[in-house]
Each structure stands twice: as C-alpha cells, then as structure tokens.
Amino acid sequence: MRDAHGAAGIFGGSYGWSSAGRFHHARTQLRRFLFSGGGCVDQTGNYSWGAAQFILPHVIGTHAPVNGLVTDWPSVVEHTGVLLAFGGLALKNGQVTSGGAGEHTMAQWLRAARARGVRVVVVSPTRADAPAFLDAEWLPIRPNTDAALMLAAAYTLVAEGLHDAAFLERCCVGFAPFRDYLIGATDGVAKSADWAAPICEVPAETIRALARRLAAERSMITVTWSLQRAHRGEQPYWAAIALAALLGHIGLPGGGFAFGHGSMNGVGNPRVPLAAPEFPARMNPAARAIPVARFVDMLLAPRAPFEFNGRTDYYPDVRLVYWAGGNPFHHHQDLNRLVRAWQRPETVIVHESWWTATAKHADIVLPATTPLERNDVGGGSRDRFVFAMHQAIAPVAASRNDFDIFRELASRLGHEAAFAEGRSEMQWLRWMWDGVRESAAAHEVALPGFNAFWEAGYAEVPPPQRPFVLFEQFRADPAAHPLATPSGRIELYSERIAGFGYDDCPPHPAWLPPVEWLGAAEAARFPIHLLTVQPPDRLHSQMDPGPLAQANKVAGREPLRLNPADASRRGIAAGDVVRVFNARGACLAGAELDAGVRPGVAVMATGAWYSASADGLELSGNPNVLSADIGTSRLAQGPSALSVLVEIERYPGTAPASRALEPPALASRP
C-alpha cells in the first residue's frame, strides 16, 4: 500500500479512547507505528469538543479551558454566588476521565459548593442533569437553543445598562458590532428575552430575571461539552463567553466562564499543572490530517474539496484503513452511511480485544490484550494521582499487546528502531515515569523513583497552594499578559473569522437555527428531539456485553427515556419495545417513562453494540443509526451528534433479538 499509494493511501487516524493506560494506548501505538514508517492520513480534533477546539482560539486565543485548567473548585466554593450550568452537572459523567481517575471529585465539590450557599441554576432538557442534593433551579430548555437564551440574557444586560463597560473596553474587542447584532441594528431583530422565549421555551421574564441575577452576584457560567457536539455548536460556546464578558467577572475568583464541569471527572479539580504520563506518537511526516468526524466523507468522496477553519483542502484517496483502540461503529454518526463508506477501502485492519461491530466489519483482525494482561502507567491531566497498572493475568489465547504487534510489523517493514527505540514495555514505563517526575520537579513537587512508585502502586501529587483563576493575570493587566488572539483580547467580533466569509459561522456569536431542532419544519414529521448522551453504566461502548450494562437494559435493548405525555399519546408503556426512526435509519429501544424529561425530548445513551437485521433495523439500541453526519460548521467541522429529530412508535409483535454477541463468521482462525 505504501509503495503503491504513499502515506495518503493509508488512514491511521483511528479515533477512540482505547484504555486508561498511557503506554498501551492503542491509538497512540498505531499512529507511532505508521508515523515512524513514513506517515499516514491522521485525524485532527476529537468527538468530545471538536467544535470548541477550533472556535475558542479565535475568541480567547486557546482551547485550554476544555482540555486544561478552568477556575478551580476552591475558588468557586469560596466566591461564586450563582453557578449557571448549561447542560447540567450530571454525576454520571464524573465517573470518567481520560487516562483514568485516581479520585472522584465532582460530587464532593458540588456538595461543598452547596454547603457554602452557592446557588445553582441548571439549564437542560432533563432534570436528571442536576443531582437532587444541589436543590438546583431547573430551566427545561429546548435542545440546541441555548445560544438564543444566552444572547437574550446578553441583550437584557445591555438594555438595562447592567453590562460592565469598563471590562469590555479594557479586555475585549468587538463589543460595538456585537451590540449592534443584539439590539437588531444589523438585521432588524432585537435578541430580547421576548424574542428568545418562543425559540427556547424558557419564559421571557425568567430570562430577564436570570440576567439581572447574574449581574448582581459573582457569577460563573459553565457549559457542558454536549452543547457544542451539535449542529452550529460553535455558537453557544462563543455566546457564553460573550455573556460572561458583558458580566465582567472573567478573571475574578469564582467568576467568568468554564466548560465541562458536568462533562468529565476532574474538571475544576485543583491540581499542579505537571505533565501526565505520556507515550509520544511523534510527528506525522506526511503532515496530513482530516477533521476527526469527516472520515466517512473522506471515504465516500476521495479528492473532493472541503473547507476547514479558513482553508480549503482535499480528501485523500484512502485504500487502507487501520483502526486500533476505537469503535467507529459506536462513535460515528449516521452508521448506515458508515456501513456504505466502509465498503470503499481495499483493506480494513482492526486490533480489538472484543468482537465489536468494527472488528466484525474488518478484513484482518489482530486480537489485542486488555489492561489486565499487561503492565502500564495511568493518569490524566486533571487528576492528582498517577497509578501503576500491574499485569494481573497472562495474555488470553492468541492476544498480544498492540505494542508487540506493531513492533513485529515494524521489524518486518524495516523501521523497528524508530518505532520502539530499543525499549521494552518496562523500559518505556520507566521512561514515561521519569518524564512525569521531571515535570513534577519543575513544579517543585518531589516524586519517588520508578521502583518505589511501582511498588506503592500509585503516587499522589499534593494539591496546589493557591486557587487557580482562569485569566486572572490577563484581567489584571491585559497589555502585559495578552491572550493569543490577533487583538490580544477576548474577541466578541473576530476580523479573522469575518475574513473566512462563512455564513455558517459569522464573525460574532449568533443564533443560527440548527438543521434539526424542535422549531425546524422537519419537526412536523419527526417531532421528538433525541439526545444521545454518555452512558451512566459504561465508558462509551466498552463492556456493553458485561453484566453491569446488561442489567440496565429494558426489554433487551438500550433504554430510551421519554416524557409520560409523549408516551401515552403513542400508546407506549414502560418496558415496551419501541422503534425509533427518522429518514436516516431506525433502531429498537426499551421504553422508560420520566417526567423529568421535558415534553418533545427523548434521551438514549450511546454505546449499545451495533447489530442490524437484514432489512437494516438496528436491534440493540444504537442511536447513531439516527444521528446526522454533518459538520458543526465549515469553521470547526465538529460532529453534530446531538441534533437529531426522530419519531417513536410502539413495536408491534415480538421484536427480533439483538445479534451483537453472535460470533462472526471467520474465514480462518489464528
């Protein structure tokens, strides 16, 4: 393949979480293997915060608030008056962090905030996003309309003279054109609370009262990642920053904006910013990558142009797809389209530990070990613990570590030295630990040598001495500590984005109706907005066949929660098998009734193992047969997983069982 088609013929982006251990991180192993052998087509960005990663640098000069530090919990507990949480603060999401969690901190910080009297307002289509102990106020918003609510709150501040003119003058650019948009000078539409109320179905007086409250108290606006994993997902993020800028609390203790408090464990966790353990993939000599969620477009339209963040590029003509550590038949949108695209490459190679749908759809499957069968080091950038992951059992049957598989392939291809650098598994773990230790020393944290760490099983990094406040120095002296934006300040209007000329991402935050939402014409045919959220009982699709996830299934499928009124109108009772469908596909699910889901909305977790009947009905309850495979905008090209309209009906008769756990038909066995 390399001789015939070069690096552009080999796709090795291989998006996916793999496992917590940082050395045996399959995706990194694969990319390092392909990079050291001449390069491949890589993926840039991720499914988690794909829109945020590319819009935020234009606005605040960095995307660090989604992958690094935000104003930490001690600062919030001490100083925040009102915590406004878009997308909520669901404890289910706080179980997980990439690299693994040494301590689960979300619930304890929320309890501390509550005890200190921080008032929490949760904006979400589902009540379950706020733990009961928070006693939060719940604003049940229509999905994908948060930008309208944020703009209306901003309008209210301006109309009532409650905005912080001094902060806007000192720390921001572009307030004037943004204000012109808010008051309707540019398009004749004032973005008032009365304008927003019918869009988001939050009463106008509630929006006005919220804006006044945010101005009267020290306020922190936090936004889950889910809001930007939707069509036009750039807008609620930019609008939240603009609203926080108008309030003028950015850079003050417990004030400003943050992302992801309700998305992942450790967000806001106080931590000295030392490096997490890392095994380097190194550089891709082919310097070629596509936006992460566009890989099906790439397979279906080789050589077609696409736009991305101000540039036009061309999809490569990929002949070989190599995946290790990800499950595209779980994570990608519009799986029926993926099934078609998957027929295009000449060869698909997958490393897996389990017979996932991705493995079943591969030409060559190499069985990989699980974390129990190897030694590793875990830890993440938000967690104070680094942990030794000791091998518990010998590799099962013919399975091997991804590293060992790639090392042997590299040896046959003549680039083993570049791939493995002569180090064994344990030598790499030592090398990685030394990196953590050196970084810790630079932050004046002393960590033990490898042997002591390995024996103890973990190392704990003490919490930092003083709270971290995002943009504290910038606020104190914007000239001395400029942001990495063209102006050095927060951009409420971006000349650079204006230069892109994108109508789907204008140069200031705006309300752009998404392609599918409850206000769209399409809602006449498909009147339910389906939210496809992170599962409470597993990590994505991992361990779905295991007893924990299986015990929570309803009628043998993934549960679907909907409002009792919507259910009774359709003759659906709790425990029924339902068929969820739209023009893209259909899946089965097990009905659960929940008055805490606002009418017109249904909720399903992602991750049920894809299993389709001969006529294309998905049987396990994988909602990605319903989601749309379109970019958030030409700017970020992020996944739009959460903009999905569907209809739901009771499944008549006896539904066919899921075939997800049936063994594949093999051409040969090792």
Ligand X SMILES: Nc1nc2c(c(=O)[nH]1)N[C@H]1C(S)=C(S)[C@@H](COP(=O)(O)OP(=O)(O)OC[C@H]3O[C@@H](n4cnc5c(=O)[nH]c(N)nc54)[C@H](O)[C@@H]3O)O[C@H]1N2
Dihedral angle sign, alpha carbons of residues 448, 454, 457, 458: positive
**Binding of ligand X by 31 (CB under 6 A):** no
Determine the angle formed by the axes of helices 402-413 and 26-36, rounding to 10 degrees.
10
From the list Mo ion, ligand X, none, which binds 224 (C-beta under 5 to 8 Å, kind-based)? ligand X
Q: Which of 42, 72, 129, 629 binds ligand X (CB under 6 A)?
A: 129
**Binding of Mo ion by 327 (CB under 5 A):** no
With beta carbons less than 8 A apart as the criterion, state whether 613 and 579 touch: no
Nearer to ligand X, 24 or 218 (CB): 24
Site string for ligand X, 328-367 (x = CB under 6 A): --xx-------------------xxxx-x-----------
Instruction: Please spell the DSSP secondary structure of 389-451, one letter per residue.
Output: E---SPPPTT-B-HHHHHHHHHHHHT-HHHHHTT--HHHHHHHHHHHHHHHHHHTT-----HH
Burial of 92 (0-12, 13-18, 19+ CB in 10 A): middle
Q: Which of 554, 617, 626 is nearest to 583 (CA)?
A: 626
With beta carbons less than 8 A apart as the criterion, state whether 363 and 323 touch: no
Q: Which of 163, 179, 229, 508 binds ligand X (CB under 6 A)?
A: 229
Instruction: With H, G, I as helix, E, B as strand and everything else as coil, classify residue 125.
Output: coil
With beta carbons less than 8 A apart as the criterion, state whether 621 and 558 touch: yes
Q: How many Cβ atoms are within 10 Å of 213's Cβ, its own excluded?
A: 16
Instruction: With H, G, I as helix, E, B as strand and everything else as coil, classify residue 258.
Output: strand
Residues 393-412 that bind ligand X (CB under 6 A): 402
**Binding of ligand X by 237 (CB under 6 A):** no
Interatomic CA distance for residues 141 and 319, integer angstroms = 45
Least Å distance between CB 610 and ligand X? Answer: 11
Enter the DSSP assignment of 543: T
Asked if 454 is an active-site residue, the reply is: no
Q: How many Cβ atoms are within 10 Å of 132's Cβ, its own excluded?
A: 8
Least Å distance between CB 95 and ligand X? Answer: 5
**Binding of ligand X by 534 (CB under 6 A):** yes
**Binding of ligand X by 86 (CB under 6 A):** yes
From the list Mo ion, ligand X, none, which binds 95 (C-beta under 5 to 8 Å, kind-based)? ligand X
How far is Cα of residue 580 from the mean position of the Cα atoms in its chain? 24
Site string for ligand X, 289-328 (x = CB under 6 A): -----------------------------------xxxx-
Q: Residue 647: beta bridge partners?
A: 581
What is the 3-state composition of the chain as percent helix, strand, coil, each rounded to the nearest 5?
Answer: 35, 15, 50
Least Å distance between CB 341 and ligand X? Answer: 16
Site string for ligand X, 581-620 (x = CB under 6 A): -------------------------x--------------
Interatomic CA distance for residues 235 and 147, integer angstroms = 6
And the tokens for 179?
Answer: 């204000």
Q: Which of 44, 95, 186, 487 binds ligand X (CB under 6 A)?
A: 95
Asked if 15 is an active-site residue, the reply is: yes
Least Å distance between CB 338 and ligand X? Answer: 12
Contacts of 588 (CB under 8 A, 6+ apart): 557, 577, 578, 579, 580, 617, 618, 619, 620, 621, 651, 655
**Binding of ligand X by 257 (CB under 6 A):** no
With beta carbons less than 8 A apart as the criterion, state whether 277 and 433 touch: yes
Instruction: With H, G, I as helix, E, B as strand and everything else as coil, classify residue 474.
Output: helix
**Binding of ligand X by 632 (CB under 6 A):** no
Phi, psi of 457 (to 5 degrees): 95, -20
Site string for ligand X, 444-463 (x = CB under 6 A): --------------------
Least Å distance between CB 29 and ligand X? Answer: 8
Catalytic residue among 15, 47, 155, 225: 15
The site that binds ligand X (CB under 6 A) totals a number of residues, namely 63
With beta carbons less than 8 A apart as the criterion, state whether 278 and 29 touch: no
**Binding of Mo ion by 624 (CB under 5 A):** no
From the list ligand X, Mo ion, none, which binds 468 (C-beta under 5 to 8 Å, kind-based)? none
Q: Which of 126, 381, 633, 658 binds ligand X (CB under 6 A)?
A: 126
Q: Which of 298, 367, 301 is nearest to 328 (CA)?
A: 298
Least Å distance between CB 260 and ligand X? Answer: 7
**Binding of ligand X by 10 (CB under 6 A):** no
Interatomic CA distance for residues 216 and 472, integer angstroms = 21
Nearer to Mo ion, 295 or 526 (CB): 295
Least Å distance between CB 531 and ligand X? Answer: 5
Q: How many Cβ atoms are within 10 Å of 403's Cβ, its own excluded?
A: 26
Question: Within 13 Å and on the Cβ side, how many CA atoms surround 136?
Answer: 28
Q: Which of 37, 65, 102, 125 binds ligand X (CB under 6 A)?
A: 125
Nearer to ligand X, 483 or 642 (CB): 642
Site string for Mo ion, 42-71 (x = CB under 5 A): ------x-----------------------
Interatomic CA distance for residues 482 and 474, integer angstroms = 6
Least Å distance between CB 279 and ligand X? Answer: 12
Nearer to ligand X, 354 or 431 (CB): 354
**Binding of ligand X by 17 (CB under 6 A):** yes
Nearer to ligand X, 17 or 306 (CB): 17
Strands (E) in 275-339, as ranges, are 288-291, 305-308, 311-314, 320-324
Interatomic CA distance for residues 552 and 668, integer angstroms = 35
And the tokens for 454?
Answer: 């390995």
**Binding of ligand X by 531 (CB under 6 A):** yes
Site string for ligand X, 41-70 (x = CB under 6 A): ------xx----------------------
What end-to-end distance do the CA atoms of the chain give, in Å?
23
**Binding of ligand X by 235 (CB under 6 A):** no
**Binding of ligand X by 234 (CB under 6 A):** no
**Binding of ligand X by 206 (CB under 6 A):** no
Binding site for ligand X (CB under 6 A): 16-19, 24, 26, 47-48, 86-88, 90, 92-93, 95-96, 123-126, 129, 141, 143-144, 146, 224-227, 229-230, 262-264, 324-327, 330-331, 351-354, 356, 368, 402, 531-536, 539-542, 606, 623-624, 627, 641-642
Binding site for Mo ion (CB under 5 A): 48
Which residues are known to be catalytic?
A: 15, 17
